[in-house]
Structure 1
Amino acid sequence: MEVHHVAKLADLGRPDNRPPRADLMAARHRKTLVVCGSCHADIHGKKPVPALTE
């Protein structure tokens, strides 16, 4: 698990032009969101990391 963080809630963008994760952060008034490593890489436009297996 990783924590995605924005500097301020205003950085999330306008309600009519933002991804669902940003809507969730805004609705909860939180600047952080716990996501898996692959999703966090996707948020930042990087190549997703492979899932861990046992």
Structure 2
Amino acid sequence: MEVHHVAKLADLGRPGNRPPWADLMAARHRKTLVVCGVCHADIHGSRPVPALTQ
């Protein structure tokens, strides 16, 4: 498990213009998101990130 972190919630962008992982972080009002290593690499890479489940 790894933790994805943003400096500010505003860094996530506006609704409608952000990926699913950013919507999840914004909805939870959290600057961190615990994900597996593959998903964390996808977040920082150019490949599309699949929808996250709760």
TM-score, structure 2 length as denominator? 0.81
Runs of 4+ in 1 over 3 A off after TM superposition: none
Q: Residue 14 of structure 1 corresponds to which residue in structure 2?
A: 14
Greater RCO (CA < 8 Å, at least 6 residues apart): 2
What secondary structure is seen at the aligned counterpart in 2 of 1:33?
Answer: strand
Unpaired runs of 5+ in structure 2?
Answer: 48-54
| Structure 1: 5+ residue stretches without partners | 48-54
SS of aligned partner of 1:39: helix
Offset from partner CA, 1:14-54 (integer Å, 9 cap, x none): 1010011101100110000000000101111178xxxxxxx
TM-score normalised by the chain length of structure 1: 0.81
> RMSD between aligned alpha carbons?
1.5
In the alignment, what sits opposite 1:35?
A: 35
